[in-house]
Structures are given as structure tokens and as C-alpha cells.
Chain A
Amino acid sequence: MAAMLEINGITVRYGAIEALHNVSMSVDEGDVVALIGANGAGKSTLLKAIVNQVSLQEGSISFKGEVVSTAEKHKKSVPTHLLSQRGIALVPEGRHVFADMTVEENLDMGAFLVKDPVAVAKKKEEMYDFFPILGARRKQKTRSLSGGEQQMMAIARALMSSPHLILLDEPGLGLAPLVVQDIFNKIHLINQQDKVTVFLVEQNARMALKASNKGYCLENGNIVLADSSDALLRNDKVRAAYLGE
């Protein structure tokens, strides 16, 4: 299958500090790909590079065969807000919900680019079926939701635009293990039922590798390991460094 997201040798520097060094990876259509790494390894920078929140010093990123971000000066990168039109949805780290809006209004914002109101209403109902807790809380301000509920709402909001690829930045951050499990189950379903390709950035290596079929390991801005998730779970280095075994 053709690679949906292709990252070709990207380097990102913040001043003198190199956050990513010649990173290459690919996400195939229909896959769940996990990127694991410690704090400060460059995981978030990689995600920011995909959505064009940081500029590349070298390399390029293409989505469905089209370049969306490049270090070359004469070629233009696609600005963040246009990526959702192309089928990339981002669930930002720390959720970034519209706290003063209700759940329903948040979901409406997720479908900002969808012009057909009937389609939006239908999609919302789908989301309420998929995340029953959101249906129950639809008129409630997002501020009053628990962390796990907010995370689910952030995912639902991202799904409102019917993306082909969903980028999840630390979906399990700061949540209770049971809630994390619940969220990863949902991610699995999103991938299996809705055929949405998932790219997952997570510190919780065990959870991420169990939920994915391919994994990359990022260390100090370099990809040090790339393999199927099963193989990574058995890999001695990974077990020692990330799984605490």
C-alpha cells in the first residue's frame, strides 16, 4: 500500500539546538503508527513539523503524494489551517478544547469547513453514539468535563471533519490508567471501523505499541528504531529503556 504520510529526512532547529535530525518515516494507509520517546526527544516537534507549526531546515513531508511541508524556499508549505481540508486532523497535546463552548459547539467547530448542515448534524449524532458520555454532556460547557471526557471530545472534534489521517499528540497525558485504556480502545475502533489512519505520539510506550502495528522510537532527535510494534515490544532495548523491564 502506498504511504499516506511520508517524512523525508527532515531536520528542525530551534536556534542552535537541533530538535530533529534527518528524520525519515512513513505512515501507510490504514495503519496505526506509534512514535515513542522520552521527554524532549523531539516527538512534539515532529508533530508540529507535520502540521507546519515549525519550519523545516532540511527535508520534506508529503501527504497522499503531495508535498505539504518543505525546506525548499521556492516551494510553499501548506499552512496549518488548510491541512484539515486535505484530510489531516490534529488532536493537540493538552487537548486544547474550547473551554467556554459546550460539547456540541466544540463539535460544530470541528466541522467548521463542512458547509452542509445536515451532514454536520449526522456526524454529530455519530459522535454521540461513539462517545455516549459526550452525548450525555452535549449541552454542558467543556470546562466542566473531566480530563478523560475532554480528551474524548478533542478526538471527536477532530473526527468531525471526516479526516483520512488523525494525528494524536499524547492522548493519554495526565489521565488515569483506566481512562487511558478506554481512549486507546476508541482509537483502535476509529482505525478499524472508520478506516482512519492513525499517527500516535505517546510517552506511554507500552500502551502505544500495543495499540499500533508499527512503531518508531525517537531519541535526541534521531529515529533509533523502526519496526513492527510487536517486534518493538519484544526488543530488549525498548524493554529496558521504555517498558521498565
Chain B
Amino acid sequence: MLNFFQLIIIYAGIYALMAIGQNCITGNTGMLSLCHAGFFCIGSYSTAIICKVVGLPFWFSLPVAAIVSGFVGFLIGVPTLRLKGDYLCIATLGLGEIIKNIATNVNPVGMMAVPRAELFGYQFSSRNKFTFILLVWFFVLIAYLLFRQLAHSRLGRAMTAVREDEVAAQANGINVTKYKIGAFILGAAVGGTAGCFATAYTLTVQPGSYTFMVSVMVLCMVVLGGMGNLAGVILGAFIIEFISYFPQLVGLSSVIPAQASQIIYGLVLVIMMICRPQGILGRDRYRYGDGRKTRRSAAVKKEA
């Protein structure tokens, strides 16, 4: 049982990273994208290839996964930028499927026996889940801090402005295109690192696992927790992961099919939309000047 809880916490951490990336694109910048499974796939494959084929250590694959995914995010962002709302959603959905299909065709059997991540001679493996939890959640914490900082920076302000009103953002000198691509790159990069940890944990890569449902699940986490609210999306990741393992957790996996979890979190989302559309922790707002010290307010104080 403890073992199983630990597994859920590990996966919640991996998905929390995905959700933080999705949140950057959807929550902060307001673009409804559905291709995070694609970024996840690229991150996983980058790690598998670097660790197994190239033979470099896991720590080297981490930045590579982020950079490669970020680059793909850039490639996806550029042609889809002119699209909005539903159209963007459909286009990104298609592109996510393309990534999955390329992986399936190039490498249909997937990759197995990827070398483990190592730190000072210690091997992170699924046998000792506790250290793996520390590893994953350490990076979730880093991502959380980075993106929280980002939300209150000039870049974050611009992204919020783009979400709120593109016309007004442009009229105020904000290059909407630039910030949209920026959000895609950052969001994709974090999604890639999530794939990196998934590979490090399972030590396998299966092209069939990066389905559209994964993207939907990640989007659900963001919507459930509260768009733009970092703590919210991490909580959302926890809840969705918990729900999807619920049948196994209560020992009814033989009675309740695995797909039932999709019904449950579909239901959870519908209930959320009716009762609390802003998400569990609510939408985060751009909070400049509400006591949080920014460089700008600090400078003004100094002057005064």
C-alpha cells in the first residue's frame, strides 16, 4: 500500500511538471493547446536516446530534453500563432498526434533498459521509490519557483496582458507574437523535463503511451486546480493522478476497468465547471503591487 502511494506521488510529480508547462501556455498566456503529450514524448525519447544510445548520464539528458522540447514548442508555436481558441486547440491537437505517430513509425517497439539516473554513485530506481520522490519533487519545486518568479516579471506581465486582451496588449507596445512563442517554448521545455523523469523512472519508452488523452489529462489538471495558479495546478495533478489510480488503490482494478477513471475525471470536471469554474484554488491574478516586492516597487521606494 505504501509502495503504491509512493508510486502515485511520483507520477503526480511528473504530471505536475507537465501541468506547470501547460499552465504557462494556457493559464498565463491564454492559449488553449492540446499537445503536451507530444512534448512529453519528445522529452522521454531525448532521455532514452541520450542515456542508452549515446551513453551519456541522465543529468546531461535533462537540459537536452528541455531544449529539444522547447525547440519543438517553437516549431509548433510559429505556424499556429494566428489561430485562436478552438482553432488553436485543433491545430495543436493535430501536431501532438503527429509527434506521437512519428515516434510510433520510427520506433514501433519503443526502447527498453534505459540506464538509471545516478547521483554520486547512488542509482535512482523504482525499487527505492522514496529517493525518486525526492528527485522528482525537487525539480517540481524548482519549476514552481521559476514559474512563480516568471509570473511576476516583465515577461509574465506581458503574457498576462496577451491573455486578457490582445488588442490592448498590442496598443501598449507588447509584441503579442513574441510572447506567445515564448510561452510555447517555456511550456514545452518543462513538459519535456517531465518526459525525462518518466523515462528515468520506468526505464522504458513506449510510443503508444503519448496519446491525446495524456494532453487532455494535463489540461484537466490545470483547469481543475485553477488556471494560472501554480499551487492549484500542482494540486490538480495530484487529484487527477489519484483518481486515475483509484480502482487499483481500493483493490477493485479487476472490477472497475482502467478507463473508468476517465469517466470519473470527466465527471469531476463537469461538476467543477458548474460549481467552481475558476478551479479549486481559483484563477491567479497578476499581483504586482499587492505587497509582493518587485524590483519596480523597490526602486520607487528607494527614490521616495
Q: Which A positions have Cβ atoms within 8 angstroms of B?
A: 51, 79-85, 89-92, 96-102, 104-105, 108-110, 112-113, 117-118, 120-121, 154, 157-158, 161
Q: Please, which residues of chain A bring their CB within 8 A of the CB of B286? A: 100-101, 105
- Please determine whether B285 and A118 come into contact, CB atoms closer than 8 angstroms: no
CB of B67 within 8 Å of the partner chain: no
Q: Which B positions have Cβ atoms within 8 angstroms of A?
A: 154, 157-158, 160-161, 164-165, 167-176, 283, 285-286, 288-289, 295-297, 299-300, 303
Q: Which of A51, A81, A90, A104 contacts B175 (CB 8 A)?
A: A81
What is the minimal beta-carbon distance from B248 to any residue of chain A, in angstroms? 40
- Please determine whether B176 and A99 come into contact, CB atoms closer than 8 angstroms: no
- Please determine whether B171 and A51 come into contact, CB atoms closer than 8 angstroms: yes
In the A-B complex, the 6 residue pairs with the closest CB atoms: A84-B173, A96-B168, A98-B164, A90-B171, A117-B296, A113-B173
Q: Which of B160, B168, B173 contacts A97 (CB 8 A)?
A: B168
Give 17 pairs: A residue, B residue, CB < 8 Å, sorted on A.
Answer: A51-B170, A80-B170, A81-B173, A81-B175, A84-B171, A98-B160, A98-B164, A101-B164, A101-B286, A102-B289, A104-B289, A109-B169, A112-B154, A117-B296, A120-B296, A161-B172, A161-B173
Chain B: CB-nearest residue to A96: B168
Once A92-B168, A118-B303 are accepted as A-B contacts, the answer to whether A101 and B174 lie under 8 Å apart by CB is no
- Please determine whether B299 and A98 come into contact, CB atoms closer than 8 angstroms: no
Known contacts A81-B169, A81-B176, A104-B289; 9 further A-B pairs (Cβ under 8 A): A81-B174, A100-B164, A108-B296, A109-B161, A112-B173, A113-B172, A120-B296, A121-B300, A157-B172
Chain A: CB-nearest residue to B285: A100
Q: Please, which residues of chain A bring their CB within 8 A of the CB of B167? A: 92, 96
- Please determine whether B299 and A112 come into contact, CB atoms closer than 8 angstroms: no
- Please determine whether A118 and B157 come into contact, CB atoms closer than 8 angstroms: no
Whole-angstrom CA separation of A143 from B41 in the bound complex: 41
Q: Please, which residues of chain B bring their CB within 8 A of the CB of A83? A: 173
Whole-angstrom CA separation of A81 from B223 in the bound complex: 31
- Taking chain B's interface residues, is the majority helix, strand, or loop, or is none over half, making it mixed? helix
Q: Which of B157, B164, B283 contacts A108 (CB 8 A)?
A: B157
- Please determine whether B300 and A85 come into contact, CB atoms closer than 8 angstroms: no
Once A96-B165, A117-B300 are accepted as A-B contacts, the answer to whether A108 and B288 lie under 8 Å apart by CB is yes
Whole-angstrom CA separation of A96 from B166 in the bound complex: 9
Q: Which of A100, A102, A110, A118 contacts B172 (CB 8 A)?
A: A110
Whole-angstrom CA separation of A158 from B171 in the bound complex: 8
- Please determine whether A97 and B303 come into contact, CB atoms closer than 8 angstroms: no
Chain B: CB-nearest residue to A90: B171
Q: Please, which residues of chain A bring their CB within 8 A of the CB of B295? A: 117
Q: Which of B165, B173, B289 contacts A105 (CB 8 A)?
A: B289
What is the minimal beta-carbon distance from B178 to any residue of chain A, in angstroms? 8
Whole-angstrom CA separation of A121 from B157 in the bound complex: 17
Whole-angstrom CA separation of A121 from B288 in the bound complex: 13
- Please determine whether A97 and B174 come into contact, CB atoms closer than 8 angstroms: no
- Please determine whether A97 and B175 come into contact, CB atoms closer than 8 angstroms: no
Whole-angstrom CA separation of A82 from B296 in the bound complex: 23
Q: Please, which residues of chain A bring their CB within 8 A of the CB of B288? A: 105, 108
Q: Please, which residues of chain B bring their CB within 8 A of the CB of A102? A: 289
- Please determine whether A98 and B173 come into contact, CB atoms closer than 8 angstroms: no
Whole-angstrom CA separation of A241 from B294 in the bound complex: 54
Whole-angstrom CA separation of A97 from B164 in the bound complex: 8
Q: Please, which residues of chain B bring their CB within 8 A of the CB of A90? A: 171
Once A110-B172, A120-B296 are accepted as A-B contacts, the answer to whether A98 and B303 lie under 8 Å apart by CB is no
Whole-angstrom CA separation of A118 from B298 in the bound complex: 10
Q: Please, which residues of chain A bring their CB within 8 A of the CB of B300? A: 117-118, 121
Q: Please, which residues of chain A bring their CB within 8 A of the CB of B297? A: 117
Once A101-B160, A101-B286 are accepted as A-B contacts, the answer to whether A118 and B171 lie under 8 Å apart by CB is no
What is the minimal beta-carbon distance from A84 to any residue of chain B, in angstroms? 4
Whole-angstrom CA separation of A105 from B286 in the bound complex: 8
Whole-angstrom CA separation of A109 from B174 in the bound complex: 9
Q: Which of A79, A80, A97, A110 contacts B165 (CB 8 A)?
A: A97
Whole-angstrom CA separation of A87 from B120 in the bound complex: 58
Q: Please, which residues of chain A bring their CB within 8 A of the CB of B283? A: 100
Whole-angstrom CA separation of A104 from B160 in the bound complex: 15
Whole-angstrom CA separation of A122 from B256 in the bound complex: 64
Q: Please, which residues of chain A bring their CB within 8 A of the CB of B299? A: 117-118
Q: Which of B168, B170, B289 contacts A98 (CB 8 A)?
A: B168
What is the minimal beta-carbon distance from B84 to any residue of chain A, in angstroms? 15
Q: Please, which residues of chain A bring their CB within 8 A of the CB of B285? A: 100-101
Chain B: CB-nearest residue to A106: B168
Q: Please, which residues of chain B bring their CB within 8 A of the CB of A118? A: 299-300, 303
